Structure 1
Amino acid sequence: MAQAEEKREENHVLLVAFSSQGHINPMLRLGKRLAARGIHVSLATTEIVRHRMLKSSSAGAADHVTGIELLFFSDGLSLDYDRKTNLDVYMDILGKHGPSNLSALIKEHYTSPKKLLCLVTNPFVPWVSDVAVEYNIPCAMLWIQPCALYAIYYRCFNKLSAFPTLTDPDMVVELPGLPSMEKEDLPSFVLPNNPFGSFPKLFSELFQGMEKFKWVLGNSFYELEKHVIDSICELYPIRPIGPLVPPTLLGQDQELEDASVDMWKSDETCIEWLTQQPPSSVIYVSFGSIVVLPAKQMEAIAMALKNVKRPFLWVVKPPEFPTPDGAGQLPSWFLEETKDQGQVVRWSPQTRVLSHPAVACFITHCGWNSMLETICSGIPLIAYPQWTDQPTNAKLIVDVFKIGVRIKKEADGNISSEVIEKCIEEVMVGPAAEQLRKNAMALKAEAQKAVAADGSSDENIRLFVEEITCDSCKKDGLPNVGNLSHEGQDKVSDKGV
């Protein structure tokens, strides 16, 4: 009987995520798919996530999400520290304190009869692979941006292709599997004027040390990015297992519960408002949880929405900390002058919004999670990228996926209401509008096929589970994590698994 109990609890995987909702939710959805194949799954992230979850919900303790146990460790900072404004400092402190605190969590939590088969991390906490080496456990990386970004970063930080420099900042970049990219199409972290020094350093160390990762899994699907996936396969392959979105967006059982967290409370009244609008009439506007637009850009968007005289739903999340010059705030006149035209909410249940028949298009910052949710909803996009992967995502929207248009900035970096109005009309009723909708619906169908039984992503998940369990079989002679002495840990090879 004791042996049966031990066998039942043998296979455990620990997911480790950066403390952002957009990083945690794809991890949880991967965890849900692993759990469906008999793996016990937990997710570890920093204490700030528990704090935000408790603030956004009246549900009490935040220790499980649809069967996935949540574990928390300290990032070395107080809960009221402004991590977003001091991003470089935060990444540095997290890199110093995260490894030892995560290691202590693993040692405490994974004692016999639990057998930890694998750690799965994401690109923004790459030091997790060193913790995996400490315990002689293989490590996988879940790449949470498009496979195109994985290929760009790999080639850039391994110096396999030419990228803009201080002496040649406007060069056009040519890479296999991708269209030609100008400066405005590249991720901000590869540009010479990138203000965040911690991220090029992080990515350089990550992509020059890829041997630490036995698997690279991608939150995408082969049919969406096949050319770029094929182009990188001989360098360091990525295995697409997505899209990691709620099951309702994938045509799966409507009763299946999504695995996700909400750090901000959604305003559900917007769904009732949407139901009162005509089909394919509403412009949905959201720039995610991090982006705070300058006052001039908020004014331009507000003016455009008013002038097009179409119903809109605009998510305006109040900044967590004070901002200069009214950044992130609505113009004082806007609510009164558009009260019969649209609705403004602080946060929305986005997947329910995108799948609502009243929604016609989405003005987005081009975060990858939002893009995948939109692709799986089959609606066109209006791209207004800000930083990190978003400019490249916008390029994909327009020139590769062909499911939307892009708002072009003026020379001073601002946008005009006239340009936004033109983009809205182009997507709603312009000559290309019908083809954009057809392309979006075609990709929606491909996404559903990829995650269905025997689809490309489903097969890659099956293969991953098969490999981590077989890998464990080969190591049956090794002690459980909880029984590893620090003396034994010190003898583990620094070369990774």
Structure 2
Amino acid sequence: MLTLAELLSQAGFTISFVNNEQSHRRLDQAAFRRRCPGIEFLSIPDGLPPDHPRSGPSTVDLLFSVSTFSKPIFENLIASMSPPPACIISDGVMSFAIDVAAELGIPAITFRTYSATCTWTCFHLEKLIQDAEIPVLQGSDEDMNKLISCIPGLENIMRRRDLPHICRLDLENPVLKLYITQSSQMAKASALILNTFEELEASPSKSVLYVSFGSVIILTRDQFVEFWYGLVNSEKRFLWAIRPDLIWDVNGPSKVPEELTVGTRDRGRIVGWAPQEDVLAHDAIGGFLTNSTLESICAGKPMICWPVIADQQVNSRCVSEMWKVGLDMKDICERSTVEKLVRDLMDGGRKDIMKSTVEIGRLAQNSVSNIRHSPLMSLLELFTGRVYLC
């Protein structure tokens, strides 16, 4: 945290560093002020007696005490500052600061010294309990080496013996409960700072299916539900852009089945809009369920075509049989078919599709880069006046 404060100070920010009184006294504040005169050191009591060690096994006492005792004091400190802070950055196990920030209308950022992978694992502690993966009890090598399947992105990596030490505690242990609470609270912050770097812990590539049906197509409620079930049942991660007028339902909105809500929470994300070209260009995207052909080709991403109008029927046949850059789901909207085609595309079993997609994507990029030498540009150069597009 001190290193982060120093970096921010050197970048031109004015920093107030708030600590508990015991740690505050131990800091060599003079040395930090010489290097970073923009840092102001402040302290608040943590509710523990002066002779409490606050380290080793006793660190737990500090966490519990600060969570309850220090919150109102911290809130009074922040409220008294003039001008008020532009942002509060709090330790990941000091989530009371997020609540204080919300009450005072100040953005909150959580700083976690864990790796991204460990933080992601802590986010799934409740899921691990639901799936009876914890508590981890010392057993045979076979038991301890069992792969954990309920943490997205780590299905074939994390074993039971690799889970954090708190996962070996009894489910009623207050320390485990504290970690669950603190981890879930982090999701309420405006942003998250992790002590890692992108290249070390980048997401698994080509693991997400992007779904979008453009700006014209309308789905019936039944079609919408079938697509949704197929996506959830495929057990693949997906990002679905659903514009407000996508669903046509003469009977009005109906309740979403609980299993779809739960399945989406685990592996999916539904948004009202997405920057399509940027999304398709991202390395995490492994496929596109769509009726927009050329954007997917230019991005070098294989697709599942669901044609509805105009040129889409012809294009979808070309995609599957001529260009071999995707699969055709023409005239079908049924959950088991959606599930099967999503699995076929995302599991990488169709090597011919992957090879063709890369090659045709390269050709598309070359074509765009050579547009200045195209016949169209040669034609337009014949005109000296303004060209109108209508």
Bin for the TM-score computed over the shorter chain? 0.3 to 0.5
TM-score using structure 2 length: 0.45
TM-score using structure 1 length: 0.36
Q: Compare relative contact order (CA 8 Å, sep 6+) and give the higher one, 1 or 2.
A: 1
* Higher Cα radius of gyration: 2
